[in-house]
Structure 1
Amino acid sequence: MSDAGAGGPSGGMADGTDAAVTAGHLQQSVEERLSAWEGDRVAERLWAKDGSLWQASGKAPHDLAAWMGWLDLPVAMTERIGELTHLRDDILRDGYRRSAVLGMGGSSLAPELFSRVFGASAEHGTELRILDSTHPDAVRGFREWARSARTLFCVSSKSGSTTEPNAFHAAMAEVAPALDFLAITDPGTALADLARSQEFRAILEAPPDVGGRYSALTVFGLVPAALHGVDLAGLLERATAMADACRRPATRNPGLRLGALIGEAARSGRDKLTILTSPRLAAFGDWAEQLIAESTGKAGTGIVPVVGEAPAAPEVYAADRCFVFLALAAEADPALARLALDLRRDGHPVEEILLADPFDVGAEFVRWEIATAAAGIVLGIDPFDQPNVQESKDATKALLAAYAEQGALPSTAPVVAEAGLSAYADVAVLGDS
């Protein structure tokens, strides 16, 4: 695995954010930030789970430290390889040929990545698919796929009360017995209680001090990976190597360096983090998008990940962009390499990360999680909470409760209505203008 430094010579810029700086100036800010972090022993304090690193967020250090269990995962999950491998072997011996994840967001994005990056092996694993859409056609189609061969369903929900996985379970339970389900959740959740009462095949518990978007290397990611036949030892070996590298002082720390880059870029007006990948890594962009957007998008600031965008000519990109290219060595694309070079020449900041093989995904989970936490230091926010996500969940539960009680969803009057068109909005947010 190798990674080139960000930045490059200054050059002509496309029209964009006036406050944005060229890569040369940004690189200077990054180096100054890393030098300051080295003096402040940020790497050492990060691994000591020192919540005061994010004191600018106004949060109590112990509240932040309570969500930093993800730092322990490369070692902790290495100790669970035997347990997860044994589970996979039992599944295969019992005749299961397919496995399915029923989950959303942090519970589904890492499994989706594993299913895309690692090929299925009938001898060592199952075909893996993910149901993360509530569209009736998607659910019906998924159920028909699962019925065509013996399928093990992973009901995945950190809180154990997320509406969508519970609905997915209800739909699949109509065609599959309880023995065909296992629960992946935190200890003591309603999902764990349901799994015990209905006698699911197994309950796999995740550490409660790891947030959903940081959970790729918990059982939420690694149980589906194991069922798919991924060599967990190889994956966690790379994760551990990256964790070791990220203990180095800041100037030689790959996680802190990436975090300083994307954080300083956002502060300078380059808040559109554009992630371009080789084909098999496309799902990595989706995983990183949730990690970065939910972690940094709050308190009037944030980084906006741009993923799934087709590469364009350098002159198309405005000065609000910061670029990261990720590619598997086997998929190295000369066209993308030329684009990266041209973008540097035009003054855009560019980071290139080359993965030697799919197992390097384990290392990238660690690098990007540390980078996201580090970007939170730069932006002065708490990268571990999720105020808008929780607000959305609470609003959804309130609507469902109202529907259950009244038989209909609450109705609101449109702010503007014409024949065939009605517009709805929060008048308090719109104001008088």
Structure 2
Amino acid sequence: MSSLSLTLRGAARDAVDAQVPGLIDHEFASRLAAQDHTLWGAAAEDEASKRLGWVSLFADSRELLPRIAELRDQLAAEGVDRVVLAGMGGSSLAPEVICATEGVELTVLDSTDPQHVAAVVGTAVERTVLVVSSKSGSTVETDSQRRIVSAAFAAAGIDAASRTVVVTDPGSPLAESAGADGVRAVFEADPTVGGRYSALTAFGLVPSGLAGADIEALLDDAEEAFTVLAGDDDANPGLQLGSAIGGTQPLRNKLVITDAGSPLVGLGAWIEQLIAESTGKEGTGVLPVIVSDGEPELTRELDDVLVVQIVDADAEEGSSVDGDTADTVVTPHVVRTGGSLGAQFVLWEAATAVAGGLLGINPFDQPDVESAKTAARGLLDSPAPEAGDAVTDGAVEIRTAGGAPVGEDLGSALRGLLAQVPGDGYVAVMAYLDRTSEARLEDVRAQFAAHTGRPVTFGWGPRFLHSTGQFHKGGPHVGVFLQITADAAEDLEVPGRPFTLQKLIGAQAAGDAQVLAGHGMPVLQLHLTDRTAGLQQVLDAVDALS
């Protein structure tokens, strides 16, 4: 099933009526399909000229399929059936969604938390293949993960090169080192496709195909859908969705996304990165907020929120700008969309390009992701002093930056931070912890939303730095930030590097807080000196807010 369903109501429909005729007159869809790099203005032309390969990748991507299938069969014959993917942002989010939707196992390694990484490398190494995905290979997280997993292979008496598959751009430093190391396979991706648009390139297809997903059907559905998205007509769902995202007046810049019975598992996280990193810059942009059914953002109407429901297209009546919304969503300003995963990938990519044009920004760069990386590298080389004197409350050390009040204890510090949320603002929870074993921390998101009456995002660090991290720093500065870090019971050395994972994740957290505070936004930093006790203490303090 590759058909797309799209229903738009309220401000979303008004935006379609206001914006789509101009986009048709501008021949936006057909010019996008023809890779016209002038669509986003003179300032974006250079970057756009190098980043539009995603609209015409189908033939090249299909050429990868036999090679991926052959490698999968070879590995299976050797008893190697566990795929671990080391990659960040666009290199990992699409494969994670593809495999979860298909119900096949893929272990995504996109953390620098020592506890998380240790759990991954300590599991079934004898039947593991490592896929290292990075356009350049210079991403510090991915390089560190590769070094640690390679050491685990060696410790188990396994030749690391024979269990390593590399996905990268042609001629990149990673491609050169992989060739020198004699790794099992190197797959080169189209260098004219940016990371967050790379779902249907080697970055999305190789790990997913090795894990057993039906990537041929994924491409079939995407290619079929793209023929519709290339048309300059008012029924084009890409023009409609892009208008709803970037063309509401005034701009509804909080995009609350929820799964409403869709078979597509985790698609919201992929959309989150695509929209936040593409649009959050130059003081504008759209912030995706991922919520579950019945959570506070869906049960109230806010004038800066647009709700997106990902639905089962088989239950919808086809593409329309009319229709009804059901369930617990209170606001009348709603987008409902469904369809196969391949179709959804290209729909949201096209819509993001449209939204970028309407917002007047370059949807292909990510300047503030780079600023946080630069700050982290600087702190690795020369660690900064602690950000002010800490207030200690049990197993939690409390510090602040950017003007957040310290408070006398954990409860008062949380209340002080939340009191600073502006009327058009939001709260961001940024947890540099283990997103598998400490996932219960995500419950605080809905509790903060209920307490403040404002949208709340939740991100696992450093994963979110490649996603909402761009919007936090490059978009409108109306956020307040809660950062949670912790000591690991056991640190991990990074072979061949002068730092450990604990030092790296600490530098990433401190660098991010430094950049946010430098923009004048309040950051409350909670450091758990005892992970178990500290985490429970935070959960209890949040419970006590109500």
Distance apart, 1:428 and its partner CA: 6.5
The aligned counterpart of 2:25 is 39
Indicate yes or no: 2:143 matched with 1:166.
Answer: yes
The aligned counterpart of 1:306 is 289
CA contact (8 A) 1:115 1:129 kept: no
CA contact (8 A) 1:161 1:189 kept: no
Kindly provide the CA deviation profile for residues 309-367 of structure 1, in whole angstroms up to 9, marking residues without a partner as x. 443475424222212211346899xxxxx9933678x6522222233xxxx10111100
**Which one of the candidate residues 43, 48, 62 is aligned to 1:59?**
43
Q: Classify 1:99/1:318 alpha carbon distance in 2 versus 1 (closer, same or farther; 3 Å).
A: same
The aligned counterpart of 2:308 is 324
Q: Classify 1:308/1:159 alpha carbon distance in 2 versus 1 (closer, same or farther; 3 Å).
A: farther
Q: Classify 1:263/1:196 alpha carbon distance in 2 versus 1 (closer, same or farther; 3 Å).
A: same
Indicate yes or no: 2:250 matched with 1:268.
Answer: yes
Note the 1:21-40 alignment, pairs <5 A.
Answer: 23=10, 26-40=12-26
Distance apart, 1:411 and its partner CA: 2.5
Note the 1:98-113 alignment, pairs <5 A.
Answer: 98-113=82-97
Q: Classify 1:39/1:199 alpha carbon distance in 2 versus 1 (closer, same or farther; 3 Å).
A: same
State how far apart, in whole Å, the 2-side matches of 1:330 and 1:31 are: 26
Note the 1:173-322 alignment, pairs <5 A.
Answer: 173-176=150-153, 177-265=160-248, 267-277=249-259, 278=261, 281-312=264-295, 315-322=299-306
Distance apart, 1:136 and its partner CA: 1.0
The aligned counterpart of 1:389 is 369
Kindly provide the CA deviation profile for residues 67-116 of structure 1, in whole angstroms up to 9, marking residues without a partner as x. 11111123321232222222222222232111110111111101111221
**Which one of the candidate residues 308, 331, 334 is aligned to 1:350?**
334
SS of corresponding position for 2:43 = coil
State how far apart, in whole Å, the 2-side matches of 1:339 and 1:43 are: 28
State how far apart, in whole Å, the 2-side matches of 1:388 and 1:318 are: 28
The aligned counterpart of 2:344 is 364
> Unaligned regions of 5+ residues in structure 2, if any?
154-159, 317-322, 403-513, 522-546
Letter in structure 1 aligned against 2:5: D
The aligned counterpart of 1:10 is none
Q: Structure 1 stretches (4+) deviating beyond 6 angstroms?
A: 416-420
**Which one of the candidate residues 326, 347, 359 is aligned to 1:341?**
326
SS of corresponding position for 1:188 = coil
CA contact (8 A) 1:110 1:221 kept: yes
The aligned counterpart of 1:13 is none
State how far apart, in whole Å, the 2-side matches of 1:223 and 1:301 are: 35
Q: Classify 1:330/1:255 alpha carbon distance in 2 versus 1 (closer, same or farther; 3 Å).
A: closer
Q: Classify 1:2/1:291 alpha carbon distance in 2 versus 1 (closer, same or farther; 3 Å).
A: closer
Q: What percent identity do the matched residue pairs reach?
A: 37
Distance apart, 1:180 and its partner CA: 0.5
CA RMSD of aligned residues (A): 2.6
Distance apart, 1:279 and its partner CA: 6.6
Kindly provide the CA deviation profile for residues 279-312 of structure 1, in whole angstroms up to 9, marking residues without a partner as x. 7534110011000000000001000101134434
The aligned counterpart of 1:380 is 360
Kindly provide the CA deviation profile for residues 350-393 of structure 1, in whole angstroms up to 9, marking residues without a partner as x. 222233xxxx1011110000000100011000000010112222
CA contact (8 A) 1:271 1:303 kept: yes
Q: Classify 1:146/1:156 alpha carbon distance in 2 versus 1 (closer, same or farther; 3 Å).
A: farther
Count of residue pairs brought into register by the alignment: 388
The aligned counterpart of 1:411 is 385
TM-score by length of 1: 0.83
State how far apart, in whole Å, the 2-side matches of 1:79 and 1:417 are: 56
State how far apart, in whole Å, the 1-side matches of 2:119 and 2:22 are: 54
State how far apart, in whole Å, the 2-side matches of 1:60 and 1:274 are: 28
Letter in structure 2 aligned against 1:32: A
**Which one of the candidate residues 380, 389, 398 is aligned to 2:378?**
398
State how far apart, in whole Å, the 2-side matches of 1:347 and 1:309 are: 15
Indicate yes or no: 2:34 matched with 1:48.
Answer: yes
State how far apart, in whole Å, the 2-side matches of 1:156 and 1:220 are: 7
CA contact (8 A) 1:250 1:257 kept: no
CA contact (8 A) 1:42 1:250 kept: no
Indicate the structure whose relative CO is greater, using CA pairs within 8 Å and at least 6 residues apart.
1
CA contact (8 A) 2:313 2:337 kept: no
State how far apart, in whole Å, the 1-side matches of 2:315 and 2:131 are: 31
Distance apart, 1:418 and its partner CA: 6.2
Letter in structure 1 aligned against 2:26: D
State how far apart, in whole Å, the 2-side matches of 1:179 and 1:28 are: 56
**Which one of the candidate residues 101, 104, 107 is aligned to 1:117?**
101
TM-score by length of 2: 0.66
Distance apart, 1:429 and its partner CA: 4.7
SS of corresponding position for 1:80 = helix
State how far apart, in whole Å, the 2-side matches of 1:182 and 1:172 are: 12
Indicate yes or no: 2:78 matched with 1:94.
Answer: yes
The aligned counterpart of 1:423 is 400
Q: Classify 1:368/1:413 alpha carbon distance in 2 versus 1 (closer, same or farther; 3 Å).
A: closer
Letter in structure 1 aligned against 2:284: T
Indicate yes or no: 2:58 matched with 1:77.
Answer: no
